Structure 1
Amino acid sequence: MATRLTVGGLRSGGIIATRYGLALNLLSIGRLKFEPYEVENIRPLIVSSPLTKKALKRLGENKLARAIGLTEIAIGGMVSAGRWAPRVSAAGSLLAAGVFAVTLSFLVTTPEAWQVRERGREPKLSPAGQFLIKDVVLLGASLVTAAESLDSIRQSR
């Protein structure tokens, strides 16, 4: 018996993959913030950003990285609450959108995000910039999961 793909089935599968992929990314990336090499990796991003400058001065690199990690882990947990706690999941998804908006701002504030520009040619992303640009997709995923959770809340009334 052949299974028939439906638009609704694709949408439902896509939402599930998006929600739990987003949560897994946040949990995994948050966990890495407790590793010394990851503190080293994020250094150029956090020292150049006006959004993290005050916290960096107050906490130092290691504590700031851990605070970011704990935040990402908490948000990942909230996002994964989806079906069971849609309000929590919606809040987590909106917080995740904020996280990814901040990390995307690093493209503007981090000189290491761009390769040296050749005269008359467009700028190109460096490996650091390439790492950051994926956050556009994660920002979109955050908005999709927020909308899905909010829609679930609205339908349950």
Structure 2
Amino acid sequence: MFKILDRLPSQLLAIAALRWSLVFIFALFGVAKFAAYEAEGVARTAMHYPLFAWMYPLIGVQGTSNVIGTIELLAGALIAIGAWSHRAGLLGSLMGICTFLITLSFSFGASLWEEGYGFPFMGSTAQFLFKDAVLLAACLALALHAGHALRARAGA
């Protein structure tokens, strides 16, 4: 019965799957921030959020979205480079953790449940935000993987 367990692939396969799926997500969402439709969508939420609100009067809707997109693209690139450099992977994963903690914090005070239904029927805001819990966990897994690899190399 447990013979199949002898044939399991390395856990590195799971790390690679997490890495490249996160790179894909950061690339698509990062590039989208440079489009007007996405900048306007982000502004509806971020404009009222203290971390970003100060940017809108300084550089406008598109400029703020471009900054966010650049950060997302940088995080994705560092996560990709993490396939060869644990330091880069750790930094990119930590950036991802920050990104998803920030987006999940948008849920505080937001209307999450579908009007007229309530919990557990998610409204569009909850549907948009709750997936970030899994992305946060994926970044945490990559950060831990890189951190352990760096510690092992330092101890060797």
Q: TM-score normalised by the shorter chain: which range applies? A: 0.7 to 0.9
Report sequence identity in percent.
28
Query: Which shifted more, 137-146 or 4-13?
Result: 4-13
Distance 1:66 1:153, change over 3 A: same
> Any idea what SS the aligned residue of 1:108 has?
coil
1:20-64 Cα distance to aligned partner (Å, 9 max, x none): 111111111000001111112212211231221112222211100
> Any idea what SS the aligned residue of 2:106 has?
helix
Higher RCO structure (Cα 8 Å, ≥6 apart): 1
- Tell me the distance in 1 between the aligned counterparts of 2:6 and 2:23: 26
Please say if residues 117 and 123 of structure 1, whose CA atoms lie closer than 8 Å, have aligned partners that are also in contact. no
- Tell me the distance in 2 between the aligned counterparts of 1:52 and 1:7: 49
Deviation at 1:116, TM superposition (A): 2.9
Query: Which shifted more, 44-53 or 139-148?
Result: 44-53
- Tell me the distance in 2 between the aligned counterparts of 1:78 and 1:62: 24
Q: Count the aligned residue pairs.
A: 152
Aligned residue for 1:58?
58
The TM-score normalised by the length of structure 1 is 0.85
Residue identity in the other structure for 1:23? V
From 145, 149, 154, give the equivalent of 2:151: 154
The TM-score normalised by the length of structure 2 is 0.86
Structure 2: state its 5+ residue gaps: none
Structure 1: state its 5+ residue gaps: none
Please say if residues 90 and 146 of structure 1, whose CA atoms lie closer than 8 Å, have aligned partners that are also in contact. yes
Aligned residue for 2:115?
116
1:1-157 paired onto structure 2 within 5 Å: 6=6, 9-111=9-111, 113-116=112-115, 121-122=118-119, 124-157=121-154
Deviation at 1:83, TM superposition (A): 3.1
